[in-house]
Structure 1
Amino acid sequence: MSLAVVHSRALDGLTAAPVSVEVHLANGLPSFTLVGLAETEVKESRERVRAALQNSGLAFPHNKRITVNLAPAELPKEGGRFDLPIALGLLAASEQIDAQQLERLECAGELSLGGELRPVRGALAMSLALRREGSSRRLLLPEASAAEAALVEGVPVHAARHLLDLVEALRPGSDSLLPRARALLPAQPITAAPDLRDIKGQAGAKRALEIAAAGGLSLLMVGPPGTGKSMLAQRLCGLLPPMNEDEALESAAVLSLAGQFQPERWRQRVMRNPHHSASAVALVGGGSPPRPGEISLAQHGVLFLDELPEFNRSALEALREPMETGRILISRAARQAEFPARFQLVAAMNPCPCGNHGSPLRACRCAPDQIARYQSRLSGPFLDRLDLLVEVPVQPPELLHSAADGEASAVVAERVARARLRALERQGCSNAALSAAQVDSHVALEPAAQAFLIKAAQRLSWSARSHHRVLRVARTVADLAGSASIEVQHLSEAIQYRRGLATP
């Protein structure tokens, strides 16, 4: 047989588009041609496949004209994931393995020069695509990638270490079976997250952190250096409830695209902490081909931006639409790629360039116009999209030594879990995900609270977005209190977190 077809998949954003690897052997001048909009990494597979077959003791058709077509041709292909399909196609076309068995398989893998299989990115995306399409094909991957793909239930996944293992199982008349892969779940207990009890004082900031965790709300902490802003942010993941199966798969699939999935952190929420020198592309994604950015890698987790005003303004402005929609659409002239971006933003900043504005221990050396310029690095529309703004004051030295331990993260996490359960039973989503129409349906205000809200909105000149965000925060405060309706005390606490930045 001079023609063989092997099924594989190419990564296109978070989707794994099907690709047919067609291998044809013909008489003529010996050559090895690879077509089908292949990137440089894919074209280099010719040399890897040639060396892998020879070093594995397999016959390479030197005297044939080899043509490999990656269809569909308009879909870009990148990476070394097509090494294995090309090698199997050559073996099937030269009748060294049974081509009929390849009809029931989809495979991907990079080959070493010795024939070993190396892991590839996006194994979870391939497995999710098979389940979504209801395909009856089995997935064949290198061992490390197969462990990721096996996390998706209902998709048969086979693992292999070396090309010779596959040849032995796929020879005509062979009784060998490909080994089934098992999900590589953590065998050790999950490492304990930092505890909220470690932070002395800061009752107001801890309360805001609890509200943010209960509602999935964004939070900005403002205070002088060393007041515990970063410590508070690092403890947010410990307050959030565990992810369900679908959320864990979505998070793991995005991390797998970037080659950053760690099986030992399965079902743990991710906290991403990019440096303030990160570009807009690093935050929201981009490049060619498009890759997920930090907001997508933080899917169902926490994105912590420390020293917020030091970030490039264009990078912060690029966060505005994903914060509202929960997704990012990267458009290029030739193609588009969509990535999920359902993250929880937590940010921290100093009140002024020197950081001591408002501190009782150190005098601020900044002029009023310096403070105004520093704070104006954050645009009004960006601040308008933040749910909570809390000041983190300096703690007196005597308080740091004499203050009793506060509540442990486990105690606060129980209250957060109960509040989230109330929200899910009432509206089917977290309070942060409420649309404007859902806010009107599910946020019930008592008459006194409604009158108080109208007066506050007029006095503080809120936008419609600010109005709805205050209602989401108040609904979360009421959920923590176990109240079915929003009362005046719930609303007044929510309004406290809607104050602007302190100016000189």
Structure 2
Amino acid sequence: MSLAVIHTRAQLGIEAPAVTVEVHLSGGLPSMSIVGLPETAVKESRERVRSALITAGFDFPQRRITINLAPADLPKEGGRYDLAIAVGILLASGQLKRWKGSEATEMIGELALSGAVRPVRGVLPAAVAAGRSGRSLIVALDNAAEAVMAQRTEVFAVGHLLELVAHLTGKQRLEPVLGSLSVTPVEEGPDLADVKGQLQARRALEVAAAGGHNLLFSGPPGSGKSMLAARLPGLLPPLETEQQLEVAAICSVAGHDVRPACHGVRSFRAPHHTASAIALVGGGSHPRPGEISLAHQGVLFLDELPEYPRRVLEVLREPLETGEILISRAARQTRYPARFQLVAAMNPCPCGYHDDGTDRCICTPDQIRRYQQKISGPLLDRIDLQLQVPALPPEALLQPDQPGESSARVRQRVVAAHVRQLERQGCMNRELGGRDLEAYCALDDATRALLVRVMKQTQLSARACHRLLRVARTLADLAGEERVGQEQLLEALAFRGLAGADCD
């Protein structure tokens, strides 16, 4: 046989498109060429595969070897094709006979010069895609625990090329990797019971968790803004199965630990304010997921919000609306999901003590205005809850422990609100729009008149009005109410800093 075909998977965002490795041997001067839009790391597989085959005791064919990675218009990168190329050469040269079920087998792995099989990134999306195609997947030992998280895919793990050949020839068959080999449970996050006082901020966290709303805390240093934000993931219900796989796929592509996502744990990402726009949204010559995608179905916390460059903050506007980010390059486009909850914290002025009831603030009105204007109006429009967090008085801070409600208890109410939303409309309140918003956030005449007065007085934008209605709908869900009433609307106004705007 001078032609062999092996199946494998590429990596394109969190997708794993099928790739066919075609190996052809012909007469002519000994050479080895790889075609099909390979990147540098793929071209270098020639030397890795040659050395691995010779070290493992196989003959490297002294013929003209042509390797085609199809489809030819899909860019190929990394060393993930090494294993498929090596097996293809063995098949084409007759050193390995075609095995039963070869068409239903895919393989991914990088080869060391010794013939050892090394792990690669992005195995979980490949395992999911292989299972959907009805094929088994062969991976490196170090990728096995991740690959079996695809659940319905038969996974075999190999540590060396010789093990793979023995398995394919039937001399020493490998047993499928079991899911029980995968992971150990992760620890619980910080508890809301540790927070002293701040009843309104705790309530805002509950509302944000119940409806998936974005949240901004403003207050002096040490008032507990970061402490409160870190407890939001603990109020959210665990990820569902499809969400787990999607979040774990992003972690896999980024080279991060997939275990927390596969146990339903929501991510909490807190990039430093020196992060670039690419670090937030993703990018690079080979587009990688950024912080907003790593926070998918979780929380993105931006501390010291005005300290971020304005152009960096502005890139968040579109993902906050669409729940995804499209990274365009000359050769391709890569789409990553980015449905996250934004939680931000800021000081009211450069020194941090403006309007805190003391005379400590040393900032001029012009400095305060410039500081606050670092955050654009369109971005603020997309933040549903905007809350002042005052510093605790000393007597409250030093009072002996009197724990408040725990995260577990608040989570029960949040889960109940989630259930109401999904049963009623099939999505979270933050995703309501168009006719659904009119249908599920309908107001009676008196409540509608109140909202009209507020909009005229404060000149609220249409987007801000819709977000106000979504928050009111969440408050009604937490209260178990079928309709949004004046009580919920007034509380939603208070959470947006408009408590005094309901005058006649």
TM-score normalized by the length of structure 1: 0.95
Map Cα deviations across residues 302-332 of structure 1 (whole Å, 9 max, x no partner): 1111111111212211111111111111222
Task: Check if 1:383 corresponds to 2:380.
Answer: yes
Q: Which residue of 2 aligns with 1:4?
A: 4
Query: What pairs with 1:289-300 in structure 2 (closer than 5 Å)?
Result: 289-300=286-297
Q: Which residue of 2 aligns with 1:497?
A: 495
CA contact (8 A) 2:106 2:130 kept: no
Distance in structure 2 (CA, Å) of the matches to 1:195 and 1:374: 33
Q: Which residue of 1 aligns with 2:501?
A: none
Q: Which amino acid aligns with 1:277?
A: T
Q: Which residue of 2 aligns with 1:229?
A: 225
Distance in structure 2 (CA, Å) of the matches to 1:189 and 1:169: 32
Partner SS state of residue 277, structure 1: coil
Map Cα deviations across residues 85-136 of structure 1 (whole Å, 9 max, x no partner): 11111111122222344322111111122222111111121123234xx423
Query: What pairs with 1:54-453 in structure 2 (closer than 5 Å)?
Result: 54-61=54-61, 63-101=62-100, 102-131=102-131, 134-171=132-169, 174-183=170-179, 188-263=184-259, 265-266=261-262, 267-360=264-357, 363-402=360-399, 404-453=402-451
Q: Which residue of 1 aligns with 2:502?
A: none
Deviation (angstroms), 1:189: 4.3
Distance in structure 2 (CA, Å) of the matches to 1:78 and 1:233: 38
CA contact (8 A) 2:151 2:179 kept: no
Distance in structure 2 (CA, Å) of the matches to 1:184 and 1:319: 39
Map Cα deviations across residues 372-419 of structure 1 (whole Å, 9 max, x no partner): 111111111111011110111111111111273211111111111111
Q: Which residue of 1 aligns with 2:31?
A: 31
RMSD: 1.7
Distance in structure 2 (CA, Å) of the matches to 1:239 and 1:227: 20
Relative distance call for 1:39 and 1:486 in structure 2 (3 A) is same
Distance in structure 2 (CA, Å) of the matches to 1:7 and 1:383: 49
Map Cα deviations across residues 415-472 of structure 1 (whole Å, 9 max, x no partner): 1111111111111111111123211011132332222111111111111101100000
Distance in structure 2 (CA, Å) of the matches to 1:433 and 1:185: 38
Distance in structure 1 (CA, Å) of the matches to 2:382 and 2:356: 27
Map Cα deviations across residues 263-283 of structure 1 (whole Å, 9 max, x no partner): 255221111111111111111
Distance in structure 2 (CA, Å) of the matches to 1:331 and 1:459: 42
Deviation (angstroms), 1:361: 5.2
Map Cα deviations across residues 54-89 of structure 1 (whole Å, 9 max, x no partner): 22222222x222221111221111111011111111
Distance in structure 2 (CA, Å) of the matches to 1:192 and 1:380: 37
Unpaired segments ≥5 residues, structure 1: none
Aligned length: 495
CA contact (8 A) 1:233 1:346 kept: yes
CA contact (8 A) 1:143 1:181 kept: no
95-104 vs 378-387, greater mean Cα deviation: 95-104
TM-score normalized by the length of structure 2: 0.95
CA contact (8 A) 1:360 1:394 kept: no
Relative distance call for 1:184 and 1:454 in structure 2 (3 A) is farther
Q: Which amino acid aligns with 1:58?
A: F
Distance in structure 1 (CA, Å) of the matches to 2:208 and 2:296: 16
Distance in structure 1 (CA, Å) of the matches to 2:403 and 2:104: 60
Deviation (angstroms), 1:222: 0.7
Distance in structure 1 (CA, Å) of the matches to 2:184 and 2:492: 41
Q: Which residue of 1 aligns with 2:21?
A: 21
Distance in structure 2 (CA, Å) of the matches to 1:182 and 1:322: 37
Deviation (angstroms), 1:50: 1.6
CA contact (8 A) 1:186 1:265 kept: no
Deviation (angstroms), 1:183: 2.9
347-356 vs 186-195, greater mean Cα deviation: 186-195
Deviation (angstroms), 1:188: 4.3
After TM superposition, the runs of 4+ consecutive aligned structure 1 residues lying more than 4 A away are: 184-189
354-363 vs 249-258, greater mean Cα deviation: 354-363
Q: Which amino acid aligns with 2:454?
A: A
Distance in structure 2 (CA, Å) of the matches to 1:234 and 1:98: 57
Distance in structure 1 (CA, Å) of the matches to 2:181 and 2:484: 42
CA contact (8 A) 1:80 1:110 kept: yes
Aligned match for 1:456, one of 454, 458, 467: 454
CA contact (8 A) 1:93 1:99 kept: no
Distance in structure 1 (CA, Å) of the matches to 2:475 and 2:398: 31
CA contact (8 A) 1:160 1:179 kept: no
Q: Which amino acid aligns with 1:479?
A: D
Q: Which amino acid aligns with 1:75?
A: L
Q: Which amino acid aligns with 2:36?
A: G
Q: Which residue of 2 aligns with 1:47?
A: 47
Identity of aligned residues (%): 55
Unpaired segments ≥5 residues, structure 2: 499-504
Partner SS state of residue 15, structure 1: coil
Partner SS state of residue 158, structure 1: strand
